Amino acid sequence: MSLKAVLRFCAALLLTTGFVSVTTPAQAAVPEAWGFAYVDMTATPPVARQAGSWPSGFGVAVGTGTSPGEVRVAFPQIAVPGGVVHVTAVSPGPEWCMVKSWGPVGPDVVVTVRCHRFPGDPALVPFTVVFQRSGEVFSGPGMLGYVVYDDGSVTSSFNSRGSANTVTRVSTGSWRVTLPDLGASSPGGNIQVTALHPGLPARCKVGGWSPSLYAQEINVLCFVANTPSDTGWTLTYHHERAITGVPRETTPWRQFAYTFDTNPTNPLYAPTPPGINHNSMTATNVIREATPPFRKTTFPLVGGTPDNVQVTAFGTDPAYCKPGALWTLTGTSYLEVSIDPVICYLALSPTLSGSFVTYVSAP
């Protein structure tokens, strides 16, 4: 499907009206914090895959949760309420990961992650996790917005232009999110969505996207097994800014890239328009066919460690996507990132699906 057709479909999908909106006020100035990690419970979290706004000398700690398939991740010395969390499984099989909860515990932010194997059995698989809380409204380059929707209401929200994000429930397992004033004259940016629930083995994705000069309109879809289901979720939209909320100009240098695979049957291409295929080093990201029906995403020149990858599926079916293996870095000074493969599943079977992929490094 071409991007034009995708956007026409998204716009039509998001025109549903007549439902009650939940609105949050523009975010006031709050302490900013961020952190990310790659977690594999068979080993200590590698220093090369974790970074954050905590003081030097501290590191991420992990432990098992209270139920099978649960992992607790502690980001040290950045205890703040609110913010947003995303997680993505890193495995070749039909597994996914979601968020159970997060919040300050002593001096840390502790995130509890739950992973499952289709249709919902607990599973311990490697995953990536990213937390960030933004508070500073800015008008310069880049845009950022996030929403946390839990138990029928918005519990955390940020809009870098200071406007109020809204959520409208469309139907069971479907919501329309509006991020006002985070618009551009041409489609651009990246979207990540993660399920949030204390008990259900839920999955969430982007069902549709209607960008405009005035707002980002995003349809969130959630499923239990393959049935649309009401659950909580987290959503982040970022445009020419890393998913951590950290701008490129921040010292030490932060590099990032993102892309939107709008045509997963294309054997080799660079998604267009360029705004959906951004690279902070001005290189061109490329998506190609891997072992069918898998995909390979390449981000030139932005690689470095510590780093993090997040992946979210796109479309109206219950497909879910993630890296099938730990991504690799090649080169000497300016490194190329290869996420090979990006795997999508429909129930237990691999499938081709649209997907959003985002990468950030903090060397």
Domain boundaries, the chain: 255-361
What is the pLDDT at residue 139? 77
What is the pLDDT at residue 333? 80
What is the pLDDT at residue 251? 56
Q: What pairing do the DSSP bridges indicate for beta strands 33-39 and 21-23?
A: unpaired
Extract the residue ranges of the chain whose pLDDT is less than 70: 1-31, 248-253, 363
The DSSP code for 239 is E
Taking Cα atoms as reference points, which of 225, 244, 264 lies closest to residue 310?
A: 244
- Owner of token pair 């390979």: 296
Taking Cα atoms as reference points, which of 116, 130, 311, 322 lies closest to residue 231?
A: 116
What is the pLDDT at residue 13? 39
